[in-house]
Amino acid sequence: MSDNLSHLAGRKGLKQNMFQDLIEQTKSKGKLSEEDMRNLAEEYLIGNANVYGTASFYDFLKKENQNKKVYVCSGSTCLLAGTQDKLKDNLKKTFKEEEIGHMCCLGRCHENNAFHYDGVNYSAQSDKAIEDILAKKTKDGIDNYSVATNIENPVLTAPFTNVDEYYQLFKEALKKDRLELLQEIKESGIRGRGGAGFPMGFKWESCMNTEASQKFIVCNADEGDPGAYSDRYLLEKQTHAVLLGMMIAGYITGANRGALYIRAEYPESVTIVKEAINELEQKGLNGENIEGSGFDFRFKVIEGAGAYICGEETALLNSIEGQRAEVRIRPPFPTQAGLFNKPTVVNNVETLASVPFILKNGGKAYAKLGTGKSSGTKLVSLDSFFNKPGIYEIEMGTPLSTIINDFGGGFKSDIKALHIGGPLGGIVPMSKIDDPIGAGLNLDFESFSENGFLLGHAGIVCIPKDFPMIKYLEHLFEFTADESCGKCFPCSLGSTRGKEMIQKAQHEDFKIDKKLLDDLLETMEIGSLCALGGGLPLGIKNALQYFGDELNEFINE
């Protein structure tokens, strides 16, 4: 990270932003010329190389993607469901091969057949459906999935009433002392839902205690884990829970600006969030001196451009600043020096969406839910291999088998493993879940880590019996190699070497040297700067442990 670049990027604040300019110009002109980039460099007082470095980082800004007309989802569940080859063949009837790109992932894991066309996501279940979409006979891509919970008074899935009623809570909060409100958050014991499980109260307190004239709240809505679409659900169906959570974070920490970084693969989320912010502005619930309280808060929606690593909080901050979205070295932590080097809280969508419940019912009521160390509820995303795919709000500590059988209704076909918590999560063999004692695998942070897995964002991707595990491991290495930010060698080189080894073992007379593979995994795990390179080995090691019978033919002991 360059301090200078961060300060320069901050000159125009959130209002005008080079990253957004890059995206908008690419959208309107189809591609960026060298002159466009030079003009941006001049406008933002940065080097030509910096603008080029940024433009060449993102999938949707890259030259090779600039003439694509349609994008097929290449996420894990669409791959495992085997729907995408046929979909692509169908699209080839209308588009040339070079006009078809890919996006990962569109969050349509509950029905697959997913593609993005003309700014809208679709899941076409038949040839006729594709024809209708391309002929513009079907314009909206609305999808349906089950939503349910196992608690009486839901934290995240209660039906939304209306803005006037909902924001009474906010108006009351603005009359309270911010330390009193922070105490409720701390008492709730809520831990971040973005994957790392860091206590939200400590993060907010650290930002509150850092002296600065400007602070920021950033909502991490870059949900890139294939298999997870719970943040998309919250952004689209519980929008005000997220916005209210951000404003309360601002009130407590002293931040008056909030940015929602929403991935471009969720165009509907971007539109819905912008509409909700407009409504708040019209009702005087957002802006300057809200409700005469002296508290100001303004939102800015920033659309991503196709880079999984932007979900990592420091890469995300670099992205907003218009820098190459490389991971930053910590410390300093974002609460000390975050966006434009100012104190910044970065929280996941689901973490922020839990705030209204905590305010309304008190921190103790939230802490009563769950297991103590893992308090509250967690949204779980179930993919299309379940009989009842959908988003389920589950009390922490609930046995995984309950989620699978009672909520998911079991599986449509034979499943050998569940990949839980995204591409960096663990691969859980079905034997762990079918075990009558349940192997203690419950929905909470501790249970997952004690069993050698990871709860992460709790997206569940089913690996069918007939899908070769080696092919799935190739997909994971390939994903990491594609998405690596390039800042550290163990990840950028390690993932590429891993992918090559696995490909060679499948297609040539070659066996993977077990010692070499173990060394590679250890180097990635210990030596990577962030959990992209550091997290990939977990699932690979799980697969080697539980699916040795299947993988041994590719490996030399």
CB of 364 to ligand FMN, least distance (A): 21
| DSSP string over 240-304 | HHHHHHHHHHHHHHT--EEEEEE-TT-HHHHHHHHHHHHHHHHTTSSBSSGGGSS--BEEEEEE-
Return d(Cα 108, Cα 229) in angstroms, integer. Answer: 7
Phi-psi region of 350 (alpha: psi -120 to 50; beta: other; left: phi over 0): alpha
* Of residues 1 and 14, the one with the C-beta less far from ligand SF4: 1
CB of 523 to ligand SF4, least distance (A): 11
Stretch that binds ligand FMN, among 99-107, 162-170, 346-354, 542-550 (CB under 6 A): 346-354
Taken in order 152, 155, 159, 160, is the CA torsion positive or negative?
positive
- Residue 313: contacted member of ligand SF4, ligand FMN, none (CB under 5 to 8 Å, by partner type): ligand FMN
* Of residues 198 and 510, the one with the C-beta less far from ligand FMN: 198
Q: Give the tokens for residue 83.
A: 């729907």
CB of 501 to ligand SF4, least distance (A): 18
* Of residues 447 and 484, the one with the C-beta less far from ligand SF4: 484
Return d(Cα 393, Cα 355) in angstroms, integer. Answer: 15
Q: How many residues does the chain have?
A: 557
| Spacing of C-alpha 69 from chain mean position | 25
* Of residues 223 and 303, the one with the C-beta less far from ligand FMN: 223
CB of 179 to ligand SF4, least distance (A): 36
- In the chain, the amino acid numbered 349 is V
| Chain contacts with ligand SF4 (rule: CB under 6 A) | 309, 327, 484-488, 491-492, 528-530, 532-533
- In the chain, the amino acid numbered 366 is Y
Angstrom CA distances, 29 to 22, 24, 40, 113, stand at 11, 8, 15, 30
Pairing status of strand 114-117 against strand 120-123: antiparallel
| Position 100 contacts ligand FMN (CB under 6 A) | no
- In the chain, the amino acid numbered 213 is S
- Residue 492: contacted member of ligand FMN, ligand SF4, none (CB under 5 to 8 Å, by partner type): ligand SF4
Phi-psi region of 112 (alpha: psi -120 to 50; beta: other; left: phi over 0): left
Stretch that binds ligand FMN, among 376-384, 469-477, 525-533, 545-553 (CB under 6 A): 525-533
| Position 107 contacts ligand FMN (CB under 6 A) | no
| Position 326 contacts ligand FMN (CB under 6 A) | no
CA-based nearest residue to 278, from 236, 320, 243:
243
Burial of 212 from C-beta contacts in 10 A (0-12 / 13-18 / 19+): middle
CB of 346 to ligand FMN, least distance (A): 5
CB of 331 to ligand FMN, least distance (A): 15
* Of residues 241 and 433, the one with the C-beta less far from ligand FMN: 241
Among 77, 83, 318, 348, binds ligand FMN (CB under 6 A): 348
* Of residues 39 and 492, the one with the C-beta less far from ligand SF4: 492
| Position 193 contacts ligand FMN (CB under 6 A) | yes
- Residue 529: contacted member of ligand SF4, ligand FMN, none (CB under 5 to 8 Å, by partner type): ligand SF4
Return d(Cα 389, Cα 175) in angstroms, integer. Answer: 42
Q: Report angle CA 248, 252, 255 to the nearest 5 degrees.
A: 85
* Of residues 193 and 487, the one with the C-beta less far from ligand SF4: 487
CB of 323 to ligand FMN, least distance (A): 16
- φ, ψ dihedrals at 428, nearest 5°: -95, 120
Among 235, 242, 243, 346, binds ligand FMN (CB under 6 A): 346
| Position 269 contacts ligand FMN (CB under 6 A) | no
- Residue 343: contacted member of ligand FMN, ligand SF4, none (CB under 5 to 8 Å, by partner type): none
- Residue 306: contacted member of ligand SF4, ligand FMN, none (CB under 5 to 8 Å, by partner type): none
Q: Give the tokens for residue 395.
A: 């009390």
| Position 194 contacts ligand FMN (CB under 6 A) | yes
CB of 296 to ligand FMN, least distance (A): 24
Among 312, 383, 393, 525, binds ligand FMN (CB under 6 A): 312
| DSSP string over 427-445 | EEEHHHHHSTTGGG-BSSH
Among 107, 189, 192, 343, binds ligand FMN (CB under 6 A): 192
Angstrom CA distances, 107 to 219, 305, 502, stand at 18, 16, 27
Total number of residues that touch ligand FMN (CB under 6 A)? 21
Give the residues lining the site for ligand FMN (CB under 6 A). Answer: 192-196, 198, 220, 222-224, 309, 311-313, 346-348, 351, 530-532
